[in-house]
Amino acid sequence: MTGGHTRAELLALLHNRLDDARYAHCVRVEQTARELARRFGADEARAGLAGLFHDYAKQVPVETYRTLIQRQGFDRALLNYSRGVWHGLVGTWFIKTEVGITDPAVIQAIERHTTGDPEMTVLDQIIFVADFIEPARDLPVEAKCREAAQTSLTEATRIELENTLTYLIAKRQIVYPKTLLTYNAFLTKE
Ligand SMILES: [Fe+2]
Ligand SMILES: [Fe+2]
């Protein structure tokens, strides 16, 4: 699952791509994802690995992303978005090619962490939520989401989706359509 790497090698690969602050965030998301996996009965190793690598490609230069989207058969509509969206959906290309992580459930959870998906699995939701509630997150909405995640992963996901959309709209930023579909799907989810 780890592309044949030891933990020390994985951490070194991650740190090569990220500054110290982003790297530390990834390690905290790994721990939070493991906790959520224990709480909600998901595979702890997968949750940890996806949490650790979820932002691997967050600091890849924008021009590199533009070239990759054009040359590697990605949907051209992605060019209308920003690295905030790309580092999930497109970022897994770097994880697969540079780190050798190919586990489909891990890759999918990383892909979906920036946009959500109406069909998010438990593991997908764990990474989505862990990113938002890792211990250094201290906004009131993040605390509210952390509290919800004590008992309901669905409710925690819903709170985060609501916040994402509210934030984007308040800043007059484009909304990735799937994020809106995800919000709609989760409105009525138990
Ligand atoms: Fe991210
Ligand atoms: Fe993150």
Domain ranges of the chain: 7-187
Please check the confidence at residue 10 and state whether its pLDDT lies above 90.
yes
Residue 53 is which amino acid? Answer: F
Q: Considering every ligand atom shown, identify the ligand nearest to the alpha carbon of residue 51 and give its number.
A: 2
pLDDT reported for residue 115:
97
pLDDT reported for residue 93:
97
Tell me the CA–centroid distance for residue 133 and ligand 2, in Å.
10
Tell me the CA–centroid distance for residue 165 and ligand 2, in Å.
17
- Indicate the pLDDT class of residue 3, thresholds 50, 70 and 90: confident
Residue 147 is which amino acid? Answer: E
pLDDT reported for residue 70:
96
pLDDT reported for residue 56:
98
Please check the confidence at residue 1 and state whether its pLDDT lies above 90.
no
The phi and psi torsions of 175 (rounded to 5 degrees) equal -105, 125
**Can you give the C-alpha Rg of the chain in angstroms?**
16
Local structure of 101: helix, strand or coil: coil
Q: Considering every ligand atom shown, identify the ligand nearest to the alpha carbon of residue 57 and give its number.
A: 1
Q: d(Cα 65, Cα 54) in Å, to the nearest integer?
A: 16
> What is the b/e burial string over 144-182, where b = at least 16 CB atoms within 10 angstroms of the residue's CB?
bbbebbeeebbbbbbbbbebbbeebeeeeeeebebbbeb
CATH number of 7-187: 1.10.3210.10
Residue 124 is which amino acid? Answer: D
Which long-range contacts link 70-78 to residues 24+ away (Cβ below 8 Å)? none
User: 95: closest CA among 34, 40, 26?
Assistant: 26
Give residue-wise pLDDT tens across range 85-134: 999 999 999 999 999 999 999 999 999 999 999 999 999 999 999 999 99
Helical residues (DSSP H) of the chain, grouped into ranges: 7-17, 20-40, 44-53, 62-71, 83-89, 92-94, 104-112, 122-133, 140-148, 153-170, 177-187
Local structure of 2: helix, strand or coil: coil
Tell me the CA–centroid distance for residue 21 and ligand 1, in Å.
13
